[in-house]
Structure 1
Amino acid sequence: MTLTFNSDIYSQLLSQHQPRIIKTEEENEKFLETVEELLSRSNLTLEEDALLELLVKLIEDFEDKHYQLNVSTPRSRLLHLMEARGLEQSHLVEIIGSSEIVAKVINGELEITKKQAEALGKFFHIDANLFILG
C-alpha cells in the first residue's frame, strides 16, 4: 500500500491550526502545544507530518530571532523531544546504538552522527538536520 499525500486533508489541518510567521510569545506557545500534541501520537499521517515540520520550522525561526542567548543544540533538541514524549534513554538504544552510546550522547560526551540523526528524524517524524551541528 502506497501512502499518498491528501491535499484536502492538509488544507483542513492548515485551516484548523492556521500556521503563520510567529510574532508573539503567545503564538509561539500555541504552536509549541500543537507540536507537542502531534509528537505524542505514535503514527502521524503524511499530512500531520507535513504540518509538524512546518510548525517546527516556524517555531525555530521565531526562537532563533528571540532567544539567541539560549541557542538550541542537537543535544538540547533531543532532550526536549524526549521530555515531550516521556522517553527514557533506554527508548533510544535501538535507534542510535548501545546504552553506552546513548548515555554519552545524552551527557554531551558524543555528538550525534549523521546516521543517528537520520534514525532520530525518522523516529520523531522531523527533519534529521535538527540533530546535526551546523
Structure 2
Amino acid sequence: MTLIFNPDKYANLLSQYQPRLIRTEEENNKALAIVEELMHRPNRSLEENELYALLITLIEKFEQDYYSPGKASNPRSLLLFLMEQRNLKQSDLVDVMGSEEVVLEAIAGSREINQAQAKALGGFFQVDPSLFLT
C-alpha cells in the first residue's frame, strides 16, 4: 500500500495551525507545543509529517538566530540569558558573585566580570567560565 500525499488535507492542517516565521519566544513556545503534540501522535499522516518538519525548521531557524552567540553576544548578555532561562533574580547570584553591588554592576554592564567571578558563574551555570570573560 502506497501512501499518497493529500494537498487538501495538508492545506487544512496549514489553515488550522497557521505556521509562519517565529519572531518571539512566545511564538516559539506555541510552535514547540504543536511539535510536541505531533511528535506523540501515533500513526501520523504524511501531511502531519510535513507540518511537523516545517515547524521543526521554523523553530531551528528562530533558535539559531535568537540563542546562538554572535557579535551581539557578550558576557553580560549571556549572564542575562542564563538568568532568564532559569528564572533567577539578581539576588540569586549574590552568593555566587560575592555581593549585591557586584551583581548589580555586572548586570548593568558597568563592571566586567573578573576571573574568579567567571569561574564561580561557570560552575553555577555549568558552562565554560571563559564565556563570562571579555
The TM-score, its normalising length taken from structure 1, stands at 0.51
Instruction: Show structure 1 runs of 5+ residues with no match.
Output: 1-23, 33-55
- Paired residue for 1:87? 88
Structure 1 outlier segments of 4+, above 3 Å: 28-32
Q: Indicate whether 1:78 and 2:79 are aligned.
A: yes
Residues 121 and 25 of structure 1: is their aligned pair in 2 closer, same or farther, counting only changes over 3 Å?
A: farther
Aligned-pair RMSD on alpha carbons? Answer: 2.4
- Paired residue for 1:27? 60
The one-letter code sitting in structure 1 at the alignment partner of 2:74 is T
Distance 2:99 2:90 in 1: 10
Distance 2:123 2:58 in 1: 29
Q: 3-state SS of the aligned residue for 2:117?
A: helix
- Paired residue for 1:124? 125
- Paired residue for 1:102? 103
Instruction: Show structure 2 runs of 5+ residues with no match.
Output: 1-56
Distance 2:97 2:61 in 1: 30
* Structure (1 or 2) with the larger CA radius of gyration: 2
The one-letter code sitting in structure 2 at the alignment partner of 1:95 is V
Instruction: Give the count of matched residue pairs.
Output: 77
Distance 1:72 1:116 in 2: 18
- Paired residue for 1:115? 116
Residue 108 of structure 1 and its aligned partner are, at CA, apart by 1.0
Distance 2:128 2:97 in 1: 16
Distance 2:126 2:85 in 1: 14
Residue 25 of structure 1 and its aligned partner are, at CA, apart by 6.2
Residue 29 of structure 1 and its aligned partner are, at CA, apart by 4.5
Deviation per CA, 1:40-79, whole angstroms, max 9, x where unpaired? xxxxxxxxxxxxxxxx9xx43xxx3xxx4xx111001000
Which protein, 1 or 2, shows the higher relative CO under an 8 Å CA cutoff with sep ≥ 6?
A: 1
Distance 2:83 2:112 in 1: 17
